[in-house]
């Protein structure tokens, strides 16, 4: 590895190691980033379900995406804050087929989802099942885990070949803990690595039997095409452009059948916008340049702009991050 990339690696590791283990364990798994309702995390799980079972669960995936949109809408209601009687008024309006409840406008995707569900349904539950002491701006775990339970039950009866999967920058098993909880982990031979030793300690504490290790995406310790798939979230924007291109090359080298990559800060301009912050970067990546970087290694890239995807499919315009993208890649 070149000296400048070694120095960048050291700075990145330092920037994460300064945090307490508890902070790292809870990072990117709460609020709108909660993988149970974060669309990019859901799309990653769906990516693996499709590799395992084809189109068998497409209807369930559609319902899970709708669930995430509704829960994100409820989350925004709770942040106003909202009184319990107002939540009940929203439910009454939905039951009556009305578009407004007091000062709250009910989005069409909520109405459509409500009408597609048998009664009682999770929308009824989340709007009416609140003990007074828990209406504090967050949604209780038992509501958020609705589809976790459904996927567990559905996949418990399934059989499939196993897939070998690598996750660079795995954090404290931020996404794997949900991949496993949803019943998908049983079909994966998973390896995760991260620059931050504290993250790996957290991950191994939760999953002592899973392969988590300290590692560097700029120098992946694995042979060519040694994994079926790679997936990664929220990594590339934090690297210099040179390091990002090396990381892309490394992932393409080890992935045999495909990659699922989540980005949090992209734009449609022709060039990357480089922004250094302390020991790491917070770049705005060009969709075109990033796509081309993967294509040079023989991958076909499906670009999903999360905001456009949700607008066109569900008429959902409340995406919390308008610059979020997911790339789905398969070899030519």
CB 209 within 8 A of CB 73: no
pTM: 0.96
Asked whether the predicted pLDDT for residue 102 surpasses 80, the reply is: no
Mean pLDDT of 7-21: 94
| pLDDT given at position 130 | 73
Q: Is 217 helix (H, G, I), strand (E, B) or coil?
A: coil
CB 149 within 8 A of CB 171: no
Confidence of residue 118 (pLDDT cuts 50, 70, 90): confident
> Would you say residue 72 lies in a domain?
no
> Would you say residue 240 lies in a domain?
yes
> Would you say residue 104 lies in a domain?
no
Confidence of residue 82 (pLDDT cuts 50, 70, 90): confident
Q: How does 306-324 read in b/e, with b if 16+ C-beta sit within 10 Å?
A: bbebbeeebebeebebebb
Asked whether the predicted pLDDT for residue 202 surpasses 80, the reply is: yes
> Would you say residue 212 lies in a domain?
yes
Provide the domain count of the chain: 1
Question: Both tokens of residue 281?
Answer: 């970067």
> Would you say residue 293 lies in a domain?
yes
Spatial CA neighbour of 184 closest among 304, 64, 51: 51
> Would you say residue 73 lies in a domain?
no
CATH code assigned at 271? 3.40.50.150
Asked whether the predicted pLDDT for residue 39 surpasses 80, the reply is: yes
CB 215 within 8 A of CB 168: yes
Considering the chain, what percentage of its residues have pLDDT values greater than 90? 85
> Tens digit of pLDDT for each residue in 283-294?
999 999 999 999
| pLDDT given at position 271 | 97
| pLDDT given at position 132 | 59
Domain containing residue 16: 3-27+162-331
* Sign of the CA dihedral running 156, 158, 163, 167: negative
> Would you say residue 135 lies in a domain?
no
Stretch (H or E) spanning 300: strand 299-305
Spatial CA neighbour of 108 closest among 324, 258, 304, 317: 317
> Would you say residue 38 lies in a domain?
no
Confidence of residue 103 (pLDDT cuts 50, 70, 90): confident
């Amino acid at each position: 590895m070149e000296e400048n990339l070694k120095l960048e690696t050291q700075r990145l590791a330092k920037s994460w190691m300064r945090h307490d283990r508890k902070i790292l364990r809870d990072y990117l798994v709460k609020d709108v980033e909660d993988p149970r309702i974060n669309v990019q995390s859901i799309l990653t799980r769906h990516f693996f379900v499709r590799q395992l079972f084809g189109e068998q669960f497409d209807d369930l995936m559609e319902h899970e995406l709708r669930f995430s949109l509704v829960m994100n809408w409820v989350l925004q209601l709770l942040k106003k804050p909202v009184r319990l009687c107002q939540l009940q008024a929203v439910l009454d309006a939905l039951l009556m087929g009305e578009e407004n409840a007091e000062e709250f406008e009910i989005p069409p995707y909520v109405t459509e989802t409500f009408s597609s569900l048998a009664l009682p349904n999770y929308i009824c539950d989340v709007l009416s099942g609140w003990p007074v002491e828990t209406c504090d701006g967050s949604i209780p775990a038992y509501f958020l885990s609705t589809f976790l339970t459904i996927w567990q039950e559905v996949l418990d009866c399934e059989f499939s070949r196993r897939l070998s999967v690598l996750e660079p920058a795995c954090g404290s098993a931020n996404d794997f803990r949900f991949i496993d909880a949803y019943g998908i982990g049983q079909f994966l031979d998973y390896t995760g690595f991260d620059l931050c030793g504290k993250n790996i300690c957290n991950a191994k504490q939760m999953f002592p039997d899973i392969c988590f290790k300290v590692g560097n995406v700029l120098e992946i310790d694995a042979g060519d095409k040694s994994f079926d798939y790679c997936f990664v979230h929220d990594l590339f924007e934090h690297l210099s452009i040179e390091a990002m291109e090396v990381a892309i090359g490394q992932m393409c080298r080890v992935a045999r059948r495909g990659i699922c990559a989540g980005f949090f800060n992209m734009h449609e301009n022709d060039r990357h916008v480089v922004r250094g912050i302390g020991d790491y970067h917070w770049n705005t990546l060009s969709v075109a340049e990033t796509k081309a970087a993967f294509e040079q290694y023989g991958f076909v890239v499906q670009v999903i702009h999360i905001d456009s995807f949700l607008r066109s499919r569900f008429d959902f315009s409340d995406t919390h991050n308008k610059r979020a993208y997911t790339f789905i890649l398969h070899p030519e």
